[in-house]
Structure 1
Amino acid sequence: MSLDAVLSHVDNDFENAIARLLDLLRIESISTDPAYAQQCDAAAEWLVDDLQDIGFNTEKRPTAGHPMVMGTGGTGGTHVLFYGHYDVQPVDPLDLWDNPPFEPRLEETENGPVIRGRGSSDDKGQLMTFVEACRAYKAVTGSLPSKISIFFEGEEESGSPSLVPYMTEHAEELRADVALICDTGMVEPNTPSIVTMLRGLVGAEITLNGPNKDLHSGMYGGPSINPIRVLTRALADLHNDQGGVTLEGFYEGVPELPEQVAQQWQGLDFDEAKFLAEVGLSVPAGEQGRSVLEQIWSRPTAEVNGIWGGYTGEGFKTVLPAQASAKVSFRLVGTQDPDKIHAAFEAHLRSYLPADCTLDYHRHGASSASNMKIDHPAFEIARTALGDEWDNAGVYVGCGGSIPIAGHFQDIVGIETMLIGFAQDDDSIHSPNEKYDLRSFHKGIRSWVRILDALSKT
């Protein structure tokens, strides 16, 4: 069998692949809204039928929420487990869409043709790149390249409440040599990327309580403690003059960037000034001596996400507030311990409390960072295969956000995860007018063909 024959089939069948994707995009599988429960079920059914057509032994599995889709097929080679999600974000605000979000279509743009519609990039278009690669391989060779398991969920966009219980119960069934996820993007339009580090997340909502009611600032200003003054000082002191976080023990478990990865990042055509200028900024405000890419991919952060207290309505009210509140989040890297970060932050706040002030501290979740072991042989195999398809060599990159499923595969199932996606920064995921470049869809399929072919030989 020639790899070129499978790639040629992808090219020749591409119009049909587009039609299949458009068909899936028409299903309004909004997971967070109970009104769309039947549509979520319909999307799962659509995928079961499509995978069965390819030859996968596929089932729709019930959960307390939306169903999982599980499929298996092929034999030999590196056993891969592919994960994706068929649910999508709500479409609000609807009036900002140029066309109905669930009437997908092809559009010409100044950067080339795109597929426009909710879920086109996140994650139905990405999910279908892998499915179409399997379809092409089966059509040309009569079989899948190796043993492949499929795992699709329908609650990723609503917090995945059924995911951990399901994975815990079915850990043995989910076990493979490596897990693959296509729910990320490319660092540059022509540079394929493998995400090897995902930051964890700690969130807290805090309220400082002072007097038992709001007070007149003329009568009580001076002798009365002002919770806003206490809170803002404590929050301001979360950072030192060099942009570092001051919490006790905060940098325990924070690794330095491996030299191999640092060199790849230095070779990227990334313009720090342009990155900041696009959002109206000019000077990096994070840790001094760290590049912007380091700051958003491989370094931990502390950020105030919201703050309120006192009178904030129209006009002016001379009041001393009884309370002041804030929402604060921390992005974690390496082996930082989320529980220790919570404890250190609460201790930091309490150290600023004067007499007559109390603290209410409410945790809003705690998840560790995920770090992929790039010495796993599958990583270099995939990076080489990606380089064979795209203009530039594949690179290992970080991700500023959090993708919990990657850590779940490591912690619950015990397998390493490769995150390879073909989305672009301007895909407007979660926003009106979401799109997926036709080039990303096409070359994404071809990329998976190359990766699966290379892994089948190991």
Structure 2
Amino acid sequence: MSLADVLARIDSDLPAATDRLMELLRIPSISTDPAYAANCDQAADWLVRDLQSNDIKAEKRATPGHPMVVGHVGDSGPHLLFYGHYDVQPVDPLELWQRAPFDPDLHETENGTIIRGRGSSDDKGQLMTFVEACRAWKAVHGTLPCRITFFFEGEEESGSPSLVPFLEAHKDELTADLALVCDTSMVSRGVPSIAAQLRGMLKDEFTIVGPRIDLHSGHYGGPGLNPLREISRIIASFHDPETGRVAVDGFYEGVHEVPAEQLRQWQNCGFDEADYLKSVGYSQPHGEQGYSTLEQQWARPTLEVNGIWGGYNGAGSKTVIPSEAHCKLTCRLVGDMDPDALRDRIRKHVEDQLSPDAKVVWDNDLEGSRASVMNIHRPEFEAARGALSDEWNREAVFTGMGGSIPVVGFFKDILGMDAMLIGYANEDDAIHSPNEKYDLNSFHKGIRSWARVLDALTRS
């Protein structure tokens, strides 16, 4: 028997696989709301039973929050860990849903049949592509081609508070040769994608303090230092107005240029810059000059101001010079950028800009994480890219991601394990929003893709 037999089994079993996914989608496993704790438990139990039905030794593991699901199968060949999450986002605003969010259905659209329902794309549908590929492989061959550990989390959508302690406590059990993650999108519809880099994150917040109290603008307007004007001037100094580059000294330390081969893949991946910009009301990009939109999104760092406030914000007018002004900012990090060192540079930049009689107070609730850069020179990555190219009948690409997936960094830092991120979602799947959906074609070809990837990884 061959890979072709597995793919044929996947095709014939698609209706049953879709029914199984619908069962899982009906469970309202909203992790952030304590009212749904029992439903998260129910989803974990469902996954345990489903894995066990495929002769996988699976258990529900308790945590201080929602349970983890861990399963093991096989005793020879490469050891792969597959990660997904069974929890979902809240459904508000409910009135914008075209159908009850936990009453999934198949719906015809101009782009084909979709699976509509909360969690269909993020992440139950994606998680089940791998499970169904293993089911088909087992049905045809009687066994799986290598050792596989299944690791399903129930708190990804609520900050993963139990994840790090669980990884640390079960390090020996969970460490494998390579982690596989299915929680990402394709760069364009029908273009298979392997995420090769994820941007990191730095958060900070500061307050500019001027006079000891709010002042009457008639009495002190003119001679008085206005913290709102002060903070506006400092914020404006963060960027070069001509080039869009961040003007903080040393900001780009650790940033690397994208290799030519990756740039070639990005240039030919089907990404439509005009549609991307037009969809949110832009007519042109506004970022760092000299870099394409995809480079700016995936491979360049940013400093963004997320909120500014101070003074009077009620109805009408209040003629005051406020005593304080506040700013929240975040940075997206790439390459080898160090969030701790970068925080120091940003703070020095602000402090160097201060006028006399102004002082800055920094928030001490610090957050920062490095970028994740995958080792695509490992042979498994090129093997998987070839397998995906064969399934989708076009070149698969190594992409970047503008956001962050913290579990990937935890796998590296705690388990010492590289991760490969392959997902089949589309940008119009409305994850975290009303009317979330997953293309039936993504589900079907995702299952077939994982079968091909498993075959390729066990032969690489």
Q: TM-score range by the shorter chain?
A: over 0.9
8 Å CA contact retained: 1:30, 1:36? yes
Instruction: Indicate the residue corresponding to 2:378 in structure 1.
Output: 376
Partner SS for 2:353:
coil
How far is 1:23 from its partner? 0.3
- For 2:416 and 2:35, the matched residues in 1 are separated by 36
Q: 214-223 or 373-382: which moved more?
A: 214-223
Instruction: Indicate the residue corresponding to 1:55 in structure 2.
Output: 55
Unaligned runs of 5+ residues in structure 1 are none
Instruction: Indicate the residue corresponding to 1:204 in structure 2.
Output: 204
- For 1:118 and 1:274, the matched residues in 2 are separated by 26
- For 1:204 and 1:263, the matched residues in 2 are separated by 35
How far is 1:364 from its partner? 4.4
For 1:50, the aligned partner's letter is: D
For 1:309, the aligned partner's letter is: G
- For 2:269 and 2:458, the matched residues in 1 are separated by 30
Instruction: Indicate the residue corresponding to 1:425 in structure 2.
Output: 427
- For 2:205 and 2:22, the matched residues in 1 are separated by 42
8 Å CA contact retained: 1:190, 1:391? no
Q: 392, 395, 404: which is aligned to 1:393?
A: 395
Instruction: Indicate the residue corresponding to 1:138 in structure 2.
Output: 138
Query: Does residue 299 of the first structure (1) align with residue 300 of the second (2)?
Result: yes
Within a 5 Å distance, the mapping from 1:13-412 to structure 2 comes to 13-240=13-240, 241-362=242-363, 363-412=365-414
Q: 277-286 or 101-110: which moved more?
A: 277-286
- For 1:33 and 1:375, the matched residues in 2 are separated by 42
Instruction: Indicate the residue corresponding to 2:448 in structure 1.
Output: 446
- For 2:156 and 2:102, the matched residues in 1 are separated by 19
For 2:288, the aligned partner's letter is: E
8 Å CA contact retained: 1:77, 1:457? no
**Equivalent residue pairs, number:** 458
- For 1:268 and 1:72, the matched residues in 2 are separated by 36
Q: 314-323 or 124-133: which moved more?
A: 314-323
- For 1:34 and 1:71, the matched residues in 2 are separated by 26
How far is 1:276 from its partner? 1.2
Instruction: Indicate the residue corresponding to 2:5 in structure 1.
Output: 5
Partner SS for 1:127:
helix
Partner SS for 1:58:
strand
For 1:332, the aligned partner's letter is: L
Q: 372-381 or 360-369: which moved more?
A: 360-369
TM-score (norm 2): 0.98
- For 1:433 and 1:272, the matched residues in 2 are separated by 25
- For 2:393 and 2:244, the matched residues in 1 are separated by 37
- For 1:258 and 1:372, the matched residues in 2 are separated by 14
- For 2:275 and 2:22, the matched residues in 1 are separated by 34
8 Å CA contact retained: 1:77, 1:455? no
- For 1:41 and 1:188, the matched residues in 2 are separated by 35
Runs of 4+ residues deviating >4 angstroms? none
Alignment deviations for residues 215-253 of structure 1 (CA, whole Å, 9 cap, x no partner): 121111011110011111111111112111111211111
Unaligned runs of 5+ residues in structure 2 are none
For 1:196, the aligned partner's letter is: A
For 1:260, the aligned partner's letter is: E
8 Å CA contact retained: 1:48, 1:59? yes
How far is 1:295 from its partner? 0.2
- For 2:185 and 2:24, the matched residues in 1 are separated by 21
8 Å CA contact retained: 1:76, 1:456? no
8 Å CA contact retained: 1:191, 1:391? no
Q: 242-251 or 7-16: which moved more?
A: 242-251
For 1:52, the aligned partner's letter is: Q
8 Å CA contact retained: 1:80, 1:177? yes
Q: 434, 437, 447: which is aligned to 2:436?
A: 434
Aligned-CA RMSD value: 1.0
How far is 1:181 from its partner? 0.1
